[in-house]
Amino acid sequence: MNLAQRRILIIGGGFSGMSAAIELRKLDAAVDLVEIDPGWRNYGAGISLGGATLRAFRQLGILDAFLREGAATDGLQAFLPNGAPLASIPTPRLAGPDVPGGGGIMRPTLARILAEATRAAGTTVHLGCTVTTIDDGAEGVDVAFTDGRRARYDLVIAADGLYSKTRERLFPDAPKPRYSGQAVWRAVLPRPPEVTGPMMWMGPVKPGVNPVSADEMYLFLTENRPVNDHVDPATFETRLRALLEPFSAPLVRTMRDQIGPDARIIFRPLEGLLMPRPWYRGRVVLIGDTVHATTPHLASGACIGIEDALVLADELARADGVESALEAFQNRRWERCRMVVENSGRLGQIEIEGGSKEEHSQLMRESMAALAQPI
Ligand SMILES: Cc1cc2nc3c(=O)[nH]c(=O)nc-3n(C[C@H](O)[C@H](O)[C@H](O)COP(=O)(O)OP(=O)(O)OC[C@H]3O[C@@H](n4cnc5c(N)ncnc54)[C@H](O)[C@@H]3O)c2cc1C
């Protein structure tokens, strides 16, 4: 299908929505993006990225910016709580022989890189704006906006995230986000020279670190919490330090001592959602966390949302009509996204139950092998 000057609306300017804008502008579509947050912010934690994400960055055209501003590294090191080496897991170089197999970056930095690329591509961005009505008719989709504008589109892409209003509007019976029984702690700390890539310590909880730039790294730690109750931010530092107490590894001890007011601690209960197909109705299609929000056990939620954007643009370019493109898009994406959400959920469940370490590492290996496949 020739997309030149076809009008496309993207609802939501997260990683998935921005990636869709960049790819569709390459096909010369006229792309509007509405983002409800007037500041277009992304909260200040680190994010871990696998080789498949860096491969997607290469296609998007943001790999060089990522390599400049983030940290690209090979392999993952696992240790016992006392710091003795346990395993060294290779990460295949999926973005090319010249690009390490994974990495990390601060979320606001990645969001800025994508936002700059979105604008540079020629997307019309409306901040502090959302849709009020969506009417899918014979001639196109008529949309009204909170700023009073009205416009007709050939396609609407909803990338408005886990609590998507578009999903609620179009698919009122879709599953709701579900609490997983775990929460994750993250903090930003200075990066010592010995941290050359992601490291994890396998104790009663599993703290890990990943570099996010030349001089910073982020600490992540998943905690089992049967009840999703409120945690007072005034207690964050004490709680996070207490969770690191069982670890005698010198690096973990140093990190524990560094946890103070500058550590930018974020606590986040983990939720998941996998919406069964269809992922579209008429000319409105749902992508990213809107249809497949995963817990971070495979560090691949952003990856599959960004890949959705690449595949959607590819299917639109090759199909005869919008509907057949959307059908092909959802069928091409389903298995990979289901795998990430369900395997991540299972990994969390094994951790909660104190279940088989063999099953955990086997599932991890299988998932990594599946993620390495082409999209
Ligand atoms: C604790 C945690 C850790 C994670 N760690 C990793 C990791 O290490 N690696 C990884 O790959 N993934 C990770 N993920 C997953 C990753 O963050 C998400 O999968 C990804 O951010 C989803 O992007 P998205 O664009 O689909 O949705 P979102 O990031 O939710 O973006 C949605 C956007 O839409 C906007 N919006 C919402 N409602 C409206 C509306 N009505 N109108 C207009 N705009 C609207 C929002 O403001 C937002 O900008 C993690 C997730 C969590 C919760």
| pLDDT digits 0-9 by tens, 30-55 | 999 999 999 999 888 999 999 999 99
As given in the structure block, the two tokens for residue 276 are: 């069964």
The closest residue, in CA terms, to atom 15 on ligand 1 is 301
Asked if residue 272 has its Cβ within 6 Å of ligand 1, the reply is no
CA of 310 to the centre of ligand 1 (A): 17
Which ligand 1 atom is at minimum distance from the Cα of 293? 19
**Axis crossing angle, helix 15-26 with helix 107-120, rounded to the nearest 10:** 30
Closest alpha carbon to 330 in 316, 314, 313, 312: 312
Select from 34, 35, 165, 274 the residue to mutate for testing ligand 1; criterion: most ligand atoms less than 8 Å from CB.
35
What burial class does residue 274 get, using C-beta atoms within 10 Å of its C-beta: 0-12 exposed, 13-18 middle, 19+ buried?
Answer: middle
CA of 139 to the centre of ligand 1 (A): 32
Which ligand 1 atom is at minimum distance from the Cα of 47? 8
Question: What distances in angstroms separate CA 173 from CA 43, 244, 270, 327, one per listed residue?
Answer: 30, 42, 22, 20
Would you mind telling me the total number of residues written for the chain in this entry?
375
For 351-372, write each residue's pLDDT tens digit: 999 999 899 989 999 999 999 9
CA of 319 to the centre of ligand 1 (A): 28
Angle 227-232-235 (CA atoms, 0-180°, nearest 5)? 110
Segment 127-134 shows an average pLDDT of 98
Quick check: 130 and 34 in contact, CB under 8 A? yes
Which ligand 1 atom is at minimum distance from the Cα of 287? 26
For 221-247, write each residue's pLDDT tens digit: 999 999 999 999 999 999 999 999 999
Q: How much is the pTM?
A: 0.97
For 249-301, write each residue's pLDDT tens digit: 999 999 999 999 999 999 999 999 999 999 999 999 999 999 999 999 999 99
Asked if residue 23 has its Cβ within 6 Å of ligand 1, the reply is no
Asked if residue 310 has its Cβ within 6 Å of ligand 1, the reply is no
pLDDT band at 4 (very low <50, low <70, confident <90, very high): very high
Residue with tokens 């998943």: 222
Which ligand 1 atom is at minimum distance from the Cα of 16? 25
For residue 357, what pLDDT is reported? 85
Q: Is the pLDDT of residue 184 over 90?
A: yes
Asked if residue 102 has its Cβ within 6 Å of ligand 1, the reply is no
Asked if residue 34 has its Cβ within 6 Å of ligand 1, the reply is yes
For residue 103, what pLDDT is reported? 97
Q: Name, in order, each residue with C-beta under 8 angstroms of 275's C-beta and a sequence gap of 6 or more.
A: 167, 171, 174, 175, 286, 290, 291, 292
CA of 289 to the centre of ligand 1 (A): 6
pLDDT band at 5 (very low <50, low <70, confident <90, very high): confident
Segment 194-198 shows an average pLDDT of 96
Asked if residue 210 has its Cβ within 6 Å of ligand 1, the reply is no
Asked if residue 305 has its Cβ within 6 Å of ligand 1, the reply is yes
Asked if residue 184 has its Cβ within 6 Å of ligand 1, the reply is yes
Closest alpha carbon to 239 in 186, 179, 201: 186
Q: In the chain, what percentage of residues exceed pLDDT 90?
A: 95
Asked if residue 11 has its Cβ within 6 Å of ligand 1, the reply is yes
d(CA 135, CA 261): 49
